């Protein structure tokens, strides 16, 4: 199994880890309204980049009319000084993209959260199941889990960069976000378990 294939499988495991946790019931219940998700199985504080944080993840967009999820695009999420306020060195991270503007930001090879797309911390806690997000203007809501702690990861100012090398390795040819998300020019059989799990959660299963 290649590194990109392993990351897709780890993303599925991370998705299950978050959505099976009662503290992320809001995320699970409102995933059906998402326009896309970025899943980072291991977001590291320090060591990844001196004085910073980062991790690799996959982004999938949801077709509003059909509810089908796209093939994954590989990204690196880097924060120059954001750190983990939740008191841990590593976290599972999911970004729920709520708007078309948020999805369009992922068409670029590089973009900044809070600049090209507004980001806010998503509702977390068992009492938040039916809550309204505190920042309705945000294009993206972030969710993080580390060592039993559930909040405090600020992604404002962090940067997302396409991993072109991993996209090429996974799909067998050079492709960019537009090729994968809009033109649907490629596919990979190992994407199916993650796509199907996203569809099942959005359908309430």
Distance between CA atoms of residues 182 and 74, nearest Å: 15
Mean pLDDT, the chain, whole residue set: 84
Q: Which residue has the higher pLDDT, 166 or 49?
A: 166
- The Cβ-side half-sphere exposure at 174, using a 13 Å CA radius, reads 0
**Which string of DSSP letters, residue by residue, matches 149-195?**
B------TT-EEEE-HHHHHHHHSS---HHHHHTS-----GGGHHHH
Q: Does the pLDDT at position 177 exceed 70?
A: yes
Choose the weakest-confidence range: 2-11, 102-111, 161-170: 102-111
pLDDT score, position 191? 98
Q: What is the mean pLDDT of residues 97-113?
A: 91
Q: Does the pLDDT at position 102 exceed 50?
A: yes
SS3 content of the chain, % helix, strand, coil (to 5): 30, 25, 40
Q: Which residue has the higher pLDDT, 84 or 25?
A: 25
Contact (CB, 8 A) for 79 and 57: no
Could you tell me the two tokens for 128?
A: 């938040």
Q: What is the mean pLDDT of residues 102-110?
A: 92
Segment 53-98, tens digit of pLDDT? 788 999 999 998 888 999 999 999 987 544 444 455 678 899 999 9
Choose the weakest-confidence range: 70-84, 102-116, 121-135, 187-201: 121-135
Segment 142-164, tens digit of pLDDT? 898 876 555 556 677 788 999 99
Global pTM value = 0.88
Residue 173 backbone dihedrals phi, psi, to 5 degrees? -160, 165
């Amino acid at each position: 199994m290649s590194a990109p294939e392993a990351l897709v499988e780890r993303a599925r495991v991370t998705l299950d880890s978050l959505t099976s946790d009662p503290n992320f019931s809001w995320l699970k219940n409102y995933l059906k309204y998402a326009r896309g998700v970025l899943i980072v199985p291991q977001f590291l504080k320090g060591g990844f980049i001196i004085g910073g944080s980062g991790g690799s993840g996959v982004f999938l967009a949801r077709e509003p009319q059909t509810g089908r999820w796209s093939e994954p695009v590989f990204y690196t999420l880097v924060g120059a000084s954001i750190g983990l306020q939740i008191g841990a060195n590593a976290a599972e991270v999911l970004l729920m993209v709520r708007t078309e503007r948020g999805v369009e930001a992922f068409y670029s090879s590089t973009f900044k959260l809070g600049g090209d797309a507004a980001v806010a911390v998503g509702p977390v806690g068992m009492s938040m199941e039916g809550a309204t997000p505190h920042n309705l203007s945000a294009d993206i809501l972030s969710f993080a889990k580390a060592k039993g702690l559930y909040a405090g990861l600020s992604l404002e100012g962090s940067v997302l960069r396409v991993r072109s090398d991993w996209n090429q390795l996974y799909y067998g040819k050079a492709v960019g976000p537009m090729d994968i998300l809009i033109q649907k020019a490629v596919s990979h059989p190992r994407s199916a378990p993650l796509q199907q799990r996203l569809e099942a959660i959005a359908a309430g299963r």
